[in-house]
Structure 1
Amino acid sequence: MKWTAVRDIFERIAQWSDKHSPQTLFARALLIIVVPMLLLQALSAWWFYSQRGDNVTNRLAILLVRDLRLLISLRSDFPDDEHRQWILRRSAQDLLLFVSFRKGIVRPFKEPEYFDIVAREVQGALNADLKRPFFLDNNIGGGQLLIEIQLPDGDVMDVLVPHVRLTFGSSFAYVLAQLGLALVLFGLAIWFMRRELVPIEHLGVAADALGKGRDVPDFAFSGGTREVRNAATAFHTMRIRLRRSIQQRTEMLAGVSHDLRTPLTRMKLSLALLPDSPETRELAGDVDDMQRMIEGYLAFARGEGDEDPVMSDLSEILEDVAAGARHGSATLEVAWKGDMNVELRPIAIKRCVTNIVSNAQRYASEIRIEAVRGRTAVEITVDDNGPGIPPENYEDVFRPFFRLDQSRNAETGGVGLGLSIARDVARSHGGEVTLAPSPLGGLRVTVRIPL
C-alpha cells in the first residue's frame, strides 16, 4: 500500500507536469536542458556570495577594526594638534578612512536600520576585537558606512568607511561572466536541439502527407541521431510496402474484374438469344443485380488508390455533383464559404459526394450541400429532409453491404456500399465521414478533408 501511494503521488505529479509543460518536443527538450543549467548557475552564485563573499567581507572587516585600533593608539600616543592633523591626513590617503574627532558621547547602540552583509560583518568584528562603545550607521548614503567610537579621553572618533574597503570589486564582473556563460550555453543548446529535431519535424510532415494520401518523395537523413535515422528508414520501408500492397491489390482486382465480367457477359448474351418470357426476364434481372453488386464491390475494394492528389476547385466538383443529381425529383441547393482550392483526388471526392447525395435522393425531397473551409480542414455537409437514421445505427451503415430494414431496404437502395465507399475515400485523404441529425429533419452527413 505504501508503494502504491508513492506511485500515485508521482503519477499525479507527472500528469500535472504534462498539463502545464510546453506541448512541443523542442520546448520540452530545451526546458530539460535550461532548467538544470539555471539551477546550477543559481547555486554557484549563491555559493560565491555566501561563502567567498562572506569570507572576504569578514576578513576586510577584521582589517578595518585593526586599522581603527591603530588610529586610536596613535591618537592616544600623540594627542597634540600637529600629530592629530597628520593622523587625519595619513588615514585618508593610506587607509581610505575619513576620520574626525569631536567632544561628546557615542549615541546608544542600536541595530543597523537595514540588514546587509557589510554592516553585519563590521558589527561582529567591532564586538569581538574593539571592546569599546560604538555606534554603527549604514543609512547615511553615498556608499559609506559611519562608525562612532568612544575614546579613552572622552572624545568621539567619527570614521566614514567607503564600501570599497569592505567589499571585493569582482562581484559585478562575476555576474556578467555568469550571464554571458549562461547566454552562450543557452544559444548552443538551442542550436543543437534545433539541429536534432529538424529530422523529426521532416518525418512528421512526411507521415502527415502519407496519411492524407499524398505522394511522399524519397528522403534520407544524413544527420541526426541513430534513433531518428532508424525511424526514417522504417518509415521509408513502410511507405514502399504500402505502395506495393496497393499496386498488388489493384492488379489483382483488375484480374478479378475481368474474370467475373466475362461469364456475366456470356450469360447476358445467352439470355438475349432466348425467347422473351417471365423466366428470362427474371434471370436477366438477377444477372443485372449480380453485375451491379460486383461493380459495387470492386469499386469499394479499389478505392481510387491510383489517382494522384492535385490542387482542385472543390466548388466545381460540388457543382458537377449537383448538376448530375438535379435530374431527380428532389430539390438541391449548393453553397460554399472560403477558398475552395484544395489538394485532393478530384474523381474520388466527386464519387464520395455523389454516393452521399444519391443516397439522400432516394429518401428525401430536399437536399442541401454546403462546404466551409476552416483553419485545418474543409468540411462538406449534406443535409436532407428524409426519414433519417436512428443514432444507434450510425456506425452500422458504414459497414460494407449493410442495409437498414424498413425505410432503407434493398428495393429502394443499392447494395449497401455507398457510405462505405464515401468513408473509404475520406479516410484515404486523412479525413472522416460522420453522421448526425439534420436541421432539415433528416440526416446530416459531414465529410471532413484535412488541408
Structure 2
Amino acid sequence: MRLMPRSLLGQVMLALAVALLAAQAISATLLYRASEQRRELALMHAAAFQLLAGSQRSEGGRDYRAIDREMARPLRPRGDGRTRLPRRLRYIESAASPLKPGETRMAEREEMLAGLLETQGIPVDRVEMTIRPMREDERVLQLMRDRPRLRRLHGDMPSDLLVVGLRQQGSDTWQVARLPVPQRDRAPVRTLIMQSIIMFVLLVGILYLVLRRITRPLNALAERTARFGTSGVAAEPLEPTGPDDVSRLITAHNAMEARIGAMLDEKDVMLGAIGHDLKTPLAALRVRVEGVEDATARERMAESIEDITRTLDDILSLARVGRANGDAERTDLSALAASVVEEFEDMGEPVTLAEGERLVAPVHVTWLKRGLRNLVTNALRYAGSARVAVLRGEGGIVLRVDDEGPGIPPDRIADMLEPFARGEASRNRSTGGAGLGLTLARAVAEQHGGKLVLANRPEGGLRAEIRLPA
C-alpha cells in the first residue's frame, strides 16, 4: 500500500495536514502543561489559605479534641461549580499526622506548600501531603454516618481529596486541611480541537483551490507532451491558463511543439524526396542490369541493388517511426502475432506460435507488425528458426521471440540496439542486413511506451521481447 501520493496536489495537501497536526499537537501539549501548572498552583494556594484561615479560627484556645462535636453543613456547590466541603471537614487539628501508613507522599508539592507558608511567616517544621479517594477518608465516612442528609448527597461528592498536614516549629499539633481535587478543565482541549478543525478546513480548502488552479493546467500540459512525444504530430495549441508562471510555460511549450512539428514535417518531406530520388535511379539500374550477359555478375549486381533498396527502406522507416497517422487501435495481439507467423510459414520458414490467452491492447498495427517481423527475421538469420509467444508480463504484455542460436555476448547486447550494429562477430550464420532491424524494433516498442529487451536464454539462444505497458 502506497502512503505517499504521487501528484503535486496530493503531496502538498499531505504535507500541510501533517504540519498542521504537528503544530496543533505541540500547542495542545504546551496548553495542557500550562493548564496543569495553573491547576497545581491554585491547589497549593488553596491549601495554604485553608491552613492559615483554620489556624486563625482556632487561636481562641479551644481544644482540638472537642472540634468533632460541632457538625458541619453538608456538601454544596460553589459559584464556580466546584464542590465546597463543610467547614469542619476542611480544617481540623490533630495530635497525629493525617497520612495513613503506606500512603504515597508528594514531595514536590510539599516543598512548594512549605515555601508558600514560609513567605507568610509560618515557621514550618514538617509538611505531609497525599491524595486519597474521598470515600476512603475516615472523617468523611464519620460525617456521613452522623448526618443522613449528607449520605443522600453521596453522589455529588468529588472523587479525590487532597489531605495536607502541617506541623509548625515548636508545636506537637498537626494542622490538617482537606480540599477536593478539582477535575481537569476540558474546555481548553475542546477549544483547541474546534480551532484545529476550523483551521484545517479553511487552510486545506483555500490551498486546495489554489493548487488546483496550478496543477490542472500542469496535468493538461503533461498529457499533451506525452501525446506529442508518442505521435510527433502537433495539435491545436493548448490554452494558457493558471498563474503567470504556468501560463508562460504553456505558451513556451506551444511554441516549441509547433516548431518541432514543423521540423518533423520538413524531415518527412525531405525523406520522401530522398527516397524518390534514390529509388528511381536504382529502379533504372535494376533494368539495365538485366542486359548484362554474365549471369553470375548479373545476379550479384541485382542482389546489391536489392540490398541497397532494403537498406534505404529501413532507414526511411526508422526515420518515420513514431509519426503515426492516427490513434492506436485496440487489437488482439495474439491474432497480430499469428498473422506475422503465417507470413513466414507461407515462405516455408520454421516459425511457430505458442498458444496463449487472448490479450488486447491499443497499438499501431502496421508498426508493431514491422517490429515483430524484424525480430523473427533476425532469429531466422542467425539461428535458423524462431518461436513466437504473446503472454502477460509484469505490468504489461510481452511479445516474445526465442531462437536457439549462439546468443550475444553480454557486453555487446546494448550495442546491438544501436543503428548499423551487426552481429556477425558473435553469431555463426552468414551475415546480412544493414544492422537496422533491432534498432527499428526498439523504436517501435518505444513508440508504444514500452521497450525492447534482449537476453541470452539459460538453455541457449537469444530471447527478444517487445514489452508493452498494460
Does the TM-score normalized on the shorter chain lie above 0.5?
Answer: yes
Q: 1:277 aligns with which of 294, 308, 311?
A: 294
Q: 2:416 aligns with which of 385, 394, 397?
A: 397
SS at match of 1:433: strand
The aligned residue for residue 182 of structure 1 is: 196
User: Which amino acid in 2 is paired with 1:173?
Assistant: A
The worse-fitting range, judged by mean Cα deviation, of 364-373 and 229-238 is: 229-238
SS at match of 1:135: strand
The aligned residue for residue 116 of structure 2 is: 125
The normalised TM-score by structure 1 is: 0.77
Matched, 1:135 2:128: yes
The equivalences for 1:163-178 within 5 A come to 163-164=181-182, 171-178=185-192
Q: Distance in 1 between matches of 2:176 and 2:269?
A: 105
Matched, 1:58 2:41: yes
Contact 1:113 1:139 in 2 (8 A): no
What is the deviation of 1:420? 1.3
The worse-fitting range, judged by mean Cα deviation, of 314-323 and 375-384 is: 375-384
**Change over 3 Å in CA distance of 1:378–1:228 after alignment to 2:** farther
Q: 1:146 aligns with which of 145, 163, 167?
A: 163
What is the deviation of 1:260? 1.6
Contact 2:128 2:164 in 1 (8 A): yes
Matched, 1:41 2:27: no
SS at match of 2:454: strand
Contact 2:163 2:177 in 1 (8 A): yes
The aligned residue for residue 293 of structure 1 is: 311
What is the deviation of 1:356? 0.3
The worse-fitting range, judged by mean Cα deviation, of 428-437 and 322-331 is: 322-331
Contact 1:384 1:440 in 2 (8 A): no
The aligned residue for residue 448 of structure 1 is: 467
The aligned residue for residue 141 of structure 2 is: none
Contact 1:211 1:429 in 2 (8 A): no
Q: 2:354 aligns with which of 334, 342, 348?
A: 334
SS at match of 1:448: strand
**Change over 3 Å in CA distance of 1:335–1:183 after alignment to 2:** farther
Return the index of the structure with the highest Cα Rg: 2
Q: Deviations over 1:338-364 (max 9, x none)?
A: x62112211111110000001111232
**Change over 3 Å in CA distance of 1:384–1:180 after alignment to 2:** same
SS at match of 1:401: coil
Q: Deviations over 1:62-92 (max 9, x none)?
A: 2442233122222333849999888943996
What is the deviation of 1:422? 0.6
The aligned residue for residue 388 of structure 2 is: 369
Q: Distance in 1 between matches of 2:396 and 2:84?
A: 76
- Give the % identical residues: 24
Q: 1:113 aligns with which of 94, 100, 104?
A: 104
Contact 1:109 1:136 in 2 (8 A): no
Q: Distance in 2 between matches of 1:150 and 1:240?
A: 95
Q: 1:353 aligns with which of 351, 372, 375?
A: 372
Q: Distance in 2 between matches of 1:199 and 1:120?
A: 67
Any unmatched runs of 5+ in structure 2? 135-158
**Change over 3 Å in CA distance of 1:55–1:255 after alignment to 2:** same
What is the deviation of 1:113? 3.1
Contact 1:110 1:135 in 2 (8 A): no
The aligned residue for residue 159 of structure 1 is: 177
User: Which amino acid in 2 is paired with 1:136?
Assistant: M
User: Which amino acid in 2 is paired with 1:325?
Assistant: F
SS at match of 1:62: helix
SS at match of 1:240: helix
The worse-fitting range, judged by mean Cα deviation, of 289-298 and 210-219 is: 210-219
The aligned residue for residue 142 of structure 2 is: none
Matched, 1:253 2:246: no
**Change over 3 Å in CA distance of 1:125–1:218 after alignment to 2:** farther
Q: Distance in 1 between matches of 2:365 and 2:448?
A: 11
The aligned residue for residue 144 of structure 2 is: none
SS at match of 2:382: coil
Q: 2:95 aligns with which of 92, 100, 104?
A: 104
SS at match of 1:264: helix
Q: Deviations over 1:71-127 (max 9, x none)?
A: 222233384999988894399677924433475312579998376997775565356
Q: Distance in 2 between matches of 1:374 and 1:116?
A: 71
SS at match of 2:340: helix
**Change over 3 Å in CA distance of 1:97–1:443 after alignment to 2:** same
SS at match of 1:145: strand
Q: Deviations over 1:228-257 (max 9, x none)?
A: 444444444444344333322222212222
Matched, 1:433 2:452: yes
Contact 1:386 1:443 in 2 (8 A): yes
Contact 2:163 2:178 in 1 (8 A): yes
Q: Deviations over 1:42-76 (max 9, x none)?
A: 44444434456525642553244223312222233
SS at match of 1:177: helix
Contact 2:344 2:351 in 1 (8 A): no
Contact 2:375 2:437 in 1 (8 A): yes
Q: Distance in 1 between matches of 2:304 and 2:77?
A: 121
Q: Distance in 2 between matches of 1:307 and 1:93?
A: 88
